[in-house]
Structure 1
């Protein structure tokens, strides 16, 4: 691995998250147990720590692990993000030598229900209390090319060429209400979105492409174990299942999620 490559994660800084302990049950996880403006901070730390452990980055492991690691991340982010209007997108970067840095930028407002939904409503279902809002709805397109899995598709790093290529092929900018699905070159299954985890309605339940606990050249879809994905599986919003690219239907309703925008409704567009 090139020394210039860094690990990173992107999360939401949102003052509205301070109210989570008063308004939500324990399914809000980190944000239920901590009055924090940082969305699922513990899961973001965990994903970077798994990557640092995989590559044997001793200094990075020491910077991230334990309660001290979480405190270190809070101390890094909050003084920077709190000086800007909320909500913010925060990118935390970790170098091999353990150096931490962060970058922030604006992000779209969203409801707490979209950050901690009680369920992902089935396609066409009537809205009930606790459901995430379906607006805005994202256009979700499969990539026209196929992607080779690697450590850089399993772990989130600054080596983003396959994701940048997929986004370029469908002309996505950072703020567009649009996402592209990476497709595995070995079996044509969906790996993940370029910046999100996708969920598809199959056999009466929401499913998301499988990801093994450790990097594998054979097991799973080849995509990443995202933070919001981990949360959705833990609380039973979805289960893991291979999703064939051939099973995608134009106009099909889906959901996508990430650590900045939470859970967003999507609609497949195969003809764009």
Structure 2
């Protein structure tokens, strides 16, 4: 399979320019005025994939501070004619180091869902319009609530589930089986061959276990014998580095119908859902 490209989906949002002045702390890249959500995390993820496949030209294209600035300039050029509102930037990186992009519109997302200071547990507050100042932190809004389904088949761990590439058949198949269409407020969880939760088709999942939020383990570099096999996601890294969650294996059989499950991705941040087993 030689024709795939690496890719990442970045949120472009002029609202992000307000982040430094609105009391958000520990927000990394977006502590400076930038309309690109967690750009450095997206670059780091693509770089790890390029290193894994030993794509010399691609590595050189985005490595170091110069590579990050090169990527930022590329995105600035891609978005210079956008007028208002958030957009999805699907950025691709080819073996020869060339960058490509596709742009589509995105709905507005509360900044607290892009930069939460913690995830409320199921018993914390069932009100979807939970106050954004409770407990003195930035609390993600629980509306809209997604339906979270479990795939009826199992998926084999591979480089293509660990690294994000344009080879997406396993995710598309899982979404088709669960009848999840683009734009639906739904997600489907993939299972590995051992019956553990791997990841969501377009997101990282988080489950409330033993008094904390946990997410399936993923090694820094792909290893078929370690981790649950899921993607090394940007918001997943955010949640772990800021102690919103910890790594822990989650058996599919441990899921309970109706239990709360947070999911996250680089486009919409952190989203609340409920597991649907029936």
Range class of TM-score, shorter chain? over 0.9
TM-score, length-scaled by structure 2: 0.94
How much has 1:82 moved relative to structure 2? 4.1
Q: Which residue of 1 aligns with 2:140?
A: 132
Give the secondary-structure state (helix, strand or coil) at the position aligned to 1:144. Answer: strand
Find the aligned partners of 1:167 and 1:75 in 2 and give their Cα distance.
34
Q: Which residue of 1 aligns with 2:179?
A: 171
Structure 1: runs of 5 or more not aligned:
none
How much has 1:24 moved relative to structure 2? 3.3
Q: Which residue of 2 aligns with 1:117?
A: 116
Instruction: Tell me which moved more, 65-74 or 195-204.
Output: 65-74
Find the aligned partners of 1:205 and 1:72 in 2 and give their Cα distance.
39
Are 1:244 and 2:251 an aligned pair? yes
**Contact 1:3 1:96 survives alignment (8 Å):** no
How much has 1:170 moved relative to structure 2? 1.3
Give the secondary-structure state (helix, strand or coil) at the position aligned to 2:153. Answer: coil
Give the secondary-structure state (helix, strand or coil) at the position aligned to 2:18. Answer: helix
Structure 2: runs of 5 or more not aligned:
none
TM-score, length-scaled by structure 1: 0.96
Q: Runs (4+) of structure 1 moved beyond 2 Å?
A: 78-85
Match of 1:142 among 145, 150, 155: 150
Give the secondary-structure state (helix, strand or coil) at the position aligned to 1:27. Answer: coil
Instruction: Tell me which moved more, 78-87 or 37-46.
Output: 78-87
Q: Which residue of 2 aligns with 1:102?
A: 101
Please list the CA deviations of residues 76-135 of structure 1 after superposition, one character each: whole Å capped at 9, or x if unmatched.
222323423320011100000000011110112111100001110011313351110000
Match of 1:153 among 149, 152, 161: 161
Find the aligned partners of 2:16 and 2:175 in 1 and give their Cα distance.
30
Give the secondary-structure state (helix, strand or coil) at the position aligned to 2:154. Answer: coil
Please list the CA deviations of residues 10-50 of structure 1 after superposition, one character each: whole Å capped at 9, or x if unmatched.
11000000011112343211101x21000000000000000
Instruction: Tell me which moved more, 21-30 or 255-264.
Output: 21-30
